[in-house]
Amino acid sequence: MSRHLCELALSVSLLVVACDSGGHHHAPPIDPTIHEIEPNGTAFTANGIGPIRPGDYFPIRGHVTDFGPDFFDGFAFVSDVPLEVEFVLTADHPVADLDLCVFDPFLGEFVACFETPWNPEVGFVTVFEPGVEFHLVVSSFRGSSGYSLEVLGHPLCCPIEATENERLRPSEQAVESKRDAFWRAYAPVVTARASEPATEASPVRGVVVSIDPHTGTVEERPYLRSGHRAVVLGE
């Protein structure tokens, strides 16, 4: 067979594979995995993931280092309704020890840290109001490693009485950070910017993709992010 005929046969074979019996092209499956985008090492540059509600599942992939330069990976969520948020942080490297803290940009401080030596690191945070922004911040205590951060939204299982002005409450597994001075390096940019005159930021529209872990249903929802800190639900 001539070279020309071989190339023609290959082209026809690829075309047949790309189309079904009805002649329709198959759309590639939606990959729900969210990959971190650098820079996201300060509270001012956290990746805006968008709204979260019960039933949502966000699989996130990232990488952090223990001796720099990538000390922190911040991911910003906003509660669509009051809910309980579960996270599972799994390091790729078997001997790496990754930790996670929950940052409240409204208060400008961390409200909980999960610093056990276990892999995966697992925890829960209760959000009492809709429209509350919170950051899940990943860092390494030991070892540079890629990681998977799975974030799941659950309905509140039972009535929980919040104290006055309480927006977030960590699970009992959270402890006072042993590396408090270290974690504070994530927040100074916000503190410095807060004293500057407010400027009108151009809104950025995006789409958040979530997948139901029980049914596998994939859903896309728009969100509107104004500046680096405020994530507002889209229409």
List pLDDT tens digits, range 137-160.
999 999 999 999 999 999 988 777
Q: What is the pLDDT of residues 62-73, one digit of tens each?
A: 999 999 899 999
Cβ-based neighbours of 6, under 8 Å, separated by 6 or more: none
How confident is the model at residue 26, as a pLDDT? Answer: 62
Q: Domains in the chain, ordered, with CATH?
A: 34-157+167-229 (2.60.120.380)
Q: What is the pLDDT of residue 175?
A: 77
**First-to-last C-alpha distance (Å) of the chain:** 59
Intervals of the chain under pLDDT 50: 1-2, 4-19, 190-200, 228-230, 235
In angstroms, what CA-CA distances link 99 with 85, 110, 121, 195? 17, 13, 7, 30
Inter-CA distances, 108 with 80, 168, 185, 189, Å: 21, 13, 12, 10
3-state class of 5 per DSSP?
A: helix
